[in-house]
Chains A and B, each alone.
Chain A
């Protein structure tokens, strides 16, 4: 299913497709490297091919029927004899689709390696995770995976696969550029624009399903150890290079282990904030991407994570919930949202309301007053593990004062109209505290 083809021809192309003459060689792809992005549908492909050049003018034809290659990204770079090989231009001939022609002037004859690079759509990858909590929920085993999928229309055999984590800025969708004829559009046409692009309106070329390749099955079976993934930072991105090469036929996916870290100390964090979560407590797993937590070597790419808990009985597992990871830089705190729970309860009760400090205007109407609320907050940890609970209270006005009493833990002003109480609760325990909130209304605000 290889659909890109490189053909070296020795005579001039006379404007029409049928004028191509004197086929000399079809150089095979020697090596190929795929750099696949996950924030955009884009892959950088770099191929090495050995061309057999003759002295003088050479024409190199490259075609990409039924693929998703962006023709405007095509580039050829001599990897040897660069001072004697002059790539004069790249021509997209009239009335011929999916074909480019390099005019190359060579002062050598014989074989010479070149690199052909281009961007393609249709290859993608995503990260996903499995987390397993210890029975006492104080530590986590975190296993990361990546899944690479090839829907590009092209088979990539023995390709070095690299994955990029990062938020790349693109003007145009590669999939849309791949379908644009002619490659750079026509004069006067509105150029493609990322923001006006309606992904639903673009129909990708239909890809034929290829038969399962016995070669692929064999290569999987021969892999005796999981492949290592080398990670390094480049600019604002992280580059994951998968050891060795991979063969990913069109329409196939491959799952590869990314990392496996045990004994990550975690905290059970529960949050309560009526403006965000309603009346339900929400559970989070909290840790930091640093060396204190057996991590911190690289950022953790965003992805979905399923969290299990070891029950301690013959390594049976219990499913705790699913969270969507955001990208976590090295050193940043992670809070995995596992959803609403019933076993840690935060119960605020309004115990008293009072108004006072009335102010009257010249006409005798009320122009200002204070309202006082007495709240009692009861926090119940019905679980058999200790927990940390963050309770945010939203006042919806910056004109307030607060008096608090009881076991309210640590207290801080979060912003102009929000405060945060943080409590640590032992297993199966209850804590209660009260606060009196006075809000100033009308003229009493000033």
Chain B
């Protein structure tokens, strides 16, 4: 299924029509080939071929019928004798997926040239498989590379390069998909986090009629201390399993991860916990500090608001819940029974340590200021 051909001709191209092109005399085989997959959108192919050049003008016909090549991206580089072998011009025959290089050579010579081009419909995906231990503090981290070639071109053997890691040799046929283990740093540390965002989840499960799951995520730091940190991790589908302690595994969940630069953390949302519950209520919401205009109309006021939440951990293990609350505009905290940090002006983050089988009451009494109706 090889559609891409290079034909070396011995006589000069004298006419502009395709029919005027002369006969093939040699079909140089592809030698070293690089498939560069370091760009997330387009793949660069670099292939070397040895041309048997005559003294004087030579023409090399390069055609790619049925192969998804960007014609403007095709380049030819002379490797062995750059001083005596010169690319003079490039011609495109009409109505064909082809071009003709006109090459001048000072003498008859075997010349290695490197042809490079952008090839579409060939790419790579990255997937992750994580197997957590029973305590969920470590994961066996593996990353697979999935090569997909639907470009129209077969590659019998090529050097495959990514934006990280070492290059490796692989062939891949047209319409073939190959999955191979690429990264296997072994056991690395993981943190399990539970997050209740008051803007995203129902406040009172009783009114939902079913369970309100608290999203659970695994957080993995891309650092050298954690066995990673050599390069940014590509985004991809991550499937998380857990060792069941009996020689098998269960699936915990899957997520699409974002690219993770070195030093940052990969967050994988695996599922929802129904063993931690948050029942949140607004116990007070009144207007105070009313200010009026001369007609007696209210032009400015504050609010007096009280939010409470009952947080229960029904698990027999401790957990850390990140509780996220939102207060818009200008506000003052009157009283709050738990410490928080500000994510931004209106987002409050509470890190709450929940003991096994425990219950905590959360209370936040605040005023929003200078509200204009």
Tell me the A residues contacting B by CB distance below 8 Å.
Answer: 15, 33, 35, 37, 42, 44, 46, 72-73, 75, 87-95, 117, 119, 162, 164, 166-172, 182-188, 233-237, 239, 276, 299, 302, 326-327, 329-332, 361-362, 367, 398-399, 413-416, 445-446
Contact = CB atoms under 8 A, between A and B. Distances in A.
A171 B250 CA distance: 17
Interface residues of B, number: 71
Contacts of A119: 251
Contact of A362 (B132, B270, B282, B295): B295
Contacts of B210: 302, 326
B178 A90 contact: yes
Nearest to B144: A90
B252 A235 contact: yes
A416 B285 CA distance: 7
B177 interface: yes
Given A329-B274, A332-B277, A361-B296, A182 B148 contact: yes
B275 interface: yes
Nearest to B280: A415
Contact of B177 (A33, A91, A188, A299): A91
B-side binding surface: helix, strand, loop or mixed?
A: strand
A12 to B, nearest CB: 11
A170 B176 contact: no
The 3 A-B residue pairs whose C-beta atoms are closest, nearest first, are A94-B175, A329-B314, A167-B272
Contacts of A399: 286
Contacts of B258: none
B18 interface: no
Given A187-B150, A446-B287, A415 B120 contact: no
Interface stretch (B54-62, B90-98, B122-130): B122-130
Given A187-B120, A446-B287, A167 B213 contact: yes
B159 interface: no
Given A168-B252, A184-B148, A92 B178 contact: yes
Contacts of A168: 251-253, 270-271
B49 interface: no
A297 to B, nearest CB: 11
Interface in B142-185: 146, 148, 150, 154, 170, 173-181
27 contacts: A35-B248, A35-B251, A46-B249, A89-B178, A89-B179, A94-B175, A95-B175, A162-B250, A167-B272, A168-B251, A169-B269, A169-B272, A171-B254, A184-B148, A184-B179, A186-B150, A187-B123, A235-B216, A237-B250, A302-B211, A326-B210, A329-B314, A329-B315, A330-B316, A331-B312, A416-B284, A416-B285
Contact of B281 (A233, A332, A415, A446): A415
Contacts of B316: 233, 330
Given A92-B177, A164-B250, A236 B275 contact: yes
Contacts of B1: 15, 94
Contact of A327 (B120, B121, B154, B274): B274
B239 interface: yes
Contacts of A183: 177
B296 A362 contact: yes
Nearest to A15: B173
B256 interface: yes
B122 A187 contact: yes
Nearest to B289: A446
A235 to B, nearest CB: 5
A445 B251 contact: no
Contacts of B357: 331
A315 to B, nearest CB: 34
Contacts of B29: none
A90 B180 contact: yes
A299 B273 CA distance: 12
Contacts of B123: 187-188
Interface of B: 1, 120-123, 125, 127, 129, 132, 134, 136, 146, 148, 150, 154, 170, 173-181, 207, 209-211, 213, 215-216, 237, 239, 242, 244, 248-256, 269-275, 277, 281-288, 290, 295-296, 301, 306, 312, 314-316, 357
Contacts of A237: 250, 252, 271
Nearest to B180: A89
Contacts of B290: 446
A136 B137 CA distance: 50
A13 B50 CA distance: 29
A167 B271 contact: yes
A377 B195 CA distance: 42
Given A164-B250, A398-B284, A416-B285, A236 B176 contact: no
Given A168-B271, A302-B211, A42 B179 contact: no
Nearest to B206: A335
A92 B283 CA distance: 59
Nearest to A186: B150
Contact of B176 (A72, A91, A415): A91
B40 to A, nearest CB: 11
A73 B239 contact: yes
A414 B244 CA distance: 43
A107 to B, nearest CB: 18
Nearest to B305: A416
A44 B150 contact: no
A93 B314 CA distance: 49
Contact of B255 (A72, A164, A169): A169
B178 A182 contact: no
Given A15-B173, A91-B176, 6 more contacts: A89-B178, A169-B269, A182-B175, A235-B242, A236-B274, A367-B296
B211 A416 contact: no
A228 B24 CA distance: 77
A414 B308 CA distance: 11
A338 B158 CA distance: 68
Contacts of A446: 287-288, 290, 301
Given A167-B213, A171-B237, A184-B125, A91 B178 contact: yes
Given A236-B275, A362-B296, A170 B282 contact: no
A390 to B, nearest CB: 11
Nearest to A167: B272
Nearest to B179: A90
A63 to B, nearest CB: 15
Contact of B216 (A117, A162, A236, A362): A236
B148 A187 contact: yes
A172 B287 CA distance: 47
Contacts of B173: 15, 93-94
Contacts of A166: 271, 274
A326 B211 contact: yes
A46 B248 CA distance: 8
A413 B283 contact: yes
A29 B179 CA distance: 24
A327 B242 CA distance: 22
A167 B215 CA distance: 9
